[in-house]
């Protein structure tokens, strides 16, 4: 009797196992289709969105962190920009030596375009502080889709917003850095030269000071090297040292 019960139990277990093996796994959910976002004009403030149509979480987190830093009210020098500015975060020794005395804050976010910086500074990143100077370098991420005139309008809108929100702050407006290995043919670099020619006119000698340090990164023939820009866009430690050395005299003047 016991043998029959054990046999029956074993048989039922085998049937159950077989049924489970034959049950197909649930189908994977299809990836959400990319959401087509409307164009973002470079001179109109806008958040950064991902392919799902939602605000980029990294952008949102960095912005919230910068707002908190601003609310502390300690920063006397603010850097605004994209990943090239954000890169100062991994060059702490150079940063501290060049700018540490000014109680600096780095508000750079990778991938930012002019419209994103414009949105950030109209939504808290310049509230709660009274910096003596703001260093601005932005526009290279617009170069792939926006005309030079539009990029210049975006930079102009940022400068005007800084002036409105922080009238006491001197603005050190940097020309957009050169990009791409060769000097020619290099449509991207040519477009940025056009941008720089326009925004240079924002220099009023009092509140806005334009400075083009691009040539300091270049070889005599106009090429960029991997020693200065490993990917011909982002700076190495040597590149950041060039940047620090190039703006330090002017910055010392503006921070008085």
All domains of the chain in start order, with CATH = 53-254 (3.40.50.1110)
**Diameter of the chain measured on Cα atoms:** 104
Whose tokens are 């289709």? That residue is 33
Digitized pLDDT (tens) for each residue of the chain, 256 residues in all: 443 444 444 444 444 444 444 444 455 555 555 667 778 999 999 999 999 999 999 999 999 999 999 999 999 999 999 999 999 999 999 999 999 999 999 999 999 999 999 999 999 999 999 999 999 999 999 999 999 999 999 999 999 999 999 999 999 999 999 999 999 999 999 999 999 999 999 999 999 999 999 999 999 999 999 999 999 999 999 999 999 999 999 999 999 9
Residue 220 token pair: 């005599």
- Core vs surface per residue 105-141: b (16+ CB within 10 A) or e: bbbbbbebbbbbbbbbbbeebbeebebbbbbbbbbbb
Identify the active-site residue in 90, 231, 245, 248: 231
Helix (H, G, I), strand (E, B) or coil at 172: strand
- Whether 112 is catalytic is no
Catalytic, 234? Answer: yes
Dist CA 115 CA 48 (whole Å): 9
Kindly name the residue from 83, 127, 203, 236 that is annotated as catalytic: 83
Catalytic residue among 127, 203, 234, 236: 234
Total-model pTM: 0.86
**CA atoms of 120 and 2, how far apart (whole Å):** 77
């Amino acid at each position: 009797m016991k043998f029959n019960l054990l046999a029956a139990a074993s048989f039922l277990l085998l049937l159950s196992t077989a049924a489970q093996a034959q049950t197909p796994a649930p189908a994977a959910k299809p990836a959400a289709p990319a959401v087509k976002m409307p164009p973002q004009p470079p001179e109109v403030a806008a958040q950064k969105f991902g392919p799902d149509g939602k605000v980029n979480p990294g952008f949102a987190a960095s912005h919230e962190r910068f707002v908190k830093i601003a609310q502390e009210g300690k920063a006397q020098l603010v850097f605004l920009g994209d990943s090239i500015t954000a890169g100062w975060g991994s060059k702490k020794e150079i940063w501290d030596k060049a700018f540490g005395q000014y109680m600096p804050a780095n508000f750079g976010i990778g991938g930012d375009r002019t419209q994103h910086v414009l949105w950030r500074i109209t939504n808290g990143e310049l509230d709660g502080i009274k910096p003596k100077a703001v260093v601005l370098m932005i526009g290279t991420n617009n170069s792939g889709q926006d005309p030079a005139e539009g990029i210049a309008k975006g930079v102009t809108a940022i400068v005007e917003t800084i002036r409105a929100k922080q009238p006491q702050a001197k603005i050190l407006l940097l020309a957009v850095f050169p990009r791409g290995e060769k000097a020619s043919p290099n449509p991207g670099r040519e477009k940025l030269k056009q941008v720089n020619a326009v925004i240079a006119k924002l220099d009023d000698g009092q509140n806005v000071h334009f400075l083009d340090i691009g040539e300091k990164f270049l070889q005599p023939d106009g090429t960029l090297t991997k020693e200065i820009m490993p990917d011909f866009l982002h700076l190495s430690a040597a590149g950041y040292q060039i940047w620090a050395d190039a703006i330090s005299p002017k910055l010392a003047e503006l921070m008085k």
